[in-house]
Amino acid sequence: MRPPALPVGDGLPFLALGQWTPCQDAARLFEAAALATPHPADIRAAQMTCFACPVLHACREFAVEAREPWGVWGGMTPRQRVVVARVRAERARAS
């Protein structure tokens, strides 16, 4: 049985009300990946879970724009999201 979907009101505007995502079935995995020093295997497993998600790209964009500092979002780690944000900022300044 699937857990209830995350409501839009929880600050996740990319989710439709009642929409299920794979991370909801793997909450403990994503909690482990959000620790200050997560185990690399937890990060990889969370990323693999993201790749099956119907909102992968929207989740990723939300996390990059919100500068989410913890965990795997949209298949990306905090460090990966920082790199994407920096590249975007540099491109914006150059244009």
Domain boundaries of the chain, sorted by first residue:
8-94
Q: Which residue has the tokens 């780690």?
A: 77
Amino acid, res. 75: G
Higher pLDDT, 86 or 4: 86
Considering the entire predicted model, what is its pTM? 0.81
* Per-residue pLDDT tens over the stretch 24-52: 888 888 888 888 889 999 999 999 999 99
* Per-residue pLDDT tens over the stretch 62-77: 999 999 998 999 999 9
Q: Which residues lie closer than 8 Å to 22 by C-beta, 6 or more apart?
A: 49, 50, 52, 53
Residue 75 DSSP code: T
- Supply the pLDDT for residue 42: 94
